[in-house]
Amino acid sequence: MKEIAKKNKNLLKEQTAKAEEKAKLAIEDYKKFAIKGNIIDLAIGVVIGGAFTNIINTLVSSLVTPLLSIMTNKVNIANLFISLSGENYPTLEAAKTAGAIVISYGAIFNAVLNFFIVSVILFIVFKYIAKLRASNEKGTVEEIKQTTKACPYCKSTIDITATKCAFCTSEVELIQEVAIVESKKAKKKKVE
């Protein structure tokens, strides 16, 4: 009986140690994730998105809707509604005060307009970012210099500055650009 209790106790200690190790690894993984900036980037995106939404809502309600009202014979689009109770109400507020069930299609129109404006602005921003990324990637591709070349005889990859193939021992030509760089390096060493 004591042996079984001792085995169970040891087994419990081993499982506890494994669980603690897994928990430590999970915490370390989370720290790496959080420190990488993913959470910070996400939080910044949410805050900026909230502020951006507020700006767009204000833009629509203060500028776009009044301009549309002028074009629609001074009708405030945000206050357009249909009463489902069958009674007529002069305004949306009067219908809501009376407790009537209404479909506020003017508010829906404003929400669609907000969405359209946000999507167009995001499209423009993402197009600009994609253009910047493409120009940066193009620049990095040009900056990468070739460091190897193929032997014209055995087709093995050799160093670009090699004049003899290490594999087939054939004489290979030094690429013109490399020859210029090598001569400049030699001149600098002589000066020093």
Residue 4 within a domain:
no
Q: Which of 159, 162, 183, 185 is nearest to 173 (CA)?
A: 162
Task: Give me the pLDDT at residue 103, please.
Answer: 92
Per DSSP, the three-state class of 160 is coil
Is 29 among the domain residues? no
Mean pLDDT of all residues in 138-163: 76
What is the structure's pLDDT at 191? 55
**94-121 residue pLDDT tens:** 999 999 999 999 889 888 888 888 788 8
Residues 136 and 169 in one domain: no
Q: What tokens appear for 112 in the block?
A: 């669609």
84, 105 Cβ separation under 8 angstroms:
no
Q: How far is CA 136 from the centre of its chain?
A: 16
Q: What is the pLDDT at residue 101?
A: 92
pLDDT band at 190 (very low <50, low <70, confident <90, very high): low
Which residue segment(s) compose the domain that 62 sits in?
A: 37-143
44 in the same domain as 114: yes
Q: Are residues 58 and 126 in the same domain?
A: yes
Give the domain CATH number at 69. 1.10.1200
Residues 114 and 154 both lie in one domain: no
Whether 192 has a pLDDT exceeding 60, the answer reads no
For the chain, percent of residues with pLDDT exceeding 70: 83
Share of the chain above pLDDT 90, in %: 8
Same domain for 139 and 63: yes
Q: Are residues 52 and 119 in the same domain?
A: yes
| Residues 136, 153 share a domain | no
Q: In this structure, are 123 and 104 located in the same domain? A: yes
Has residue 160 got a pLDDT over 70? yes
Contact between 77 and 106 (Cβ < 8 Å): yes
- Flag whether 76 is in a domain: yes
138, 154: one domain: no
The answer to whether 81 and 106 are in contact (CB under 8 A) is yes
Same domain, 124 and 153: no
For residue 56, the model assigns a pLDDT of 82
Fill in the DSSP letter of residue 152.
T
Question: Is residue 87 included in any domain, yes or no?
Answer: yes
The H-or-E segment that residue 83 falls in is strand 82-83
**Considering its fold, how many domains does the chain have in total?**
2
**What pLDDT band is residue 69 in, cutting at 50, 70 and 90?**
confident
Q: For residue 64, tell me if it sits in a domain.
A: yes
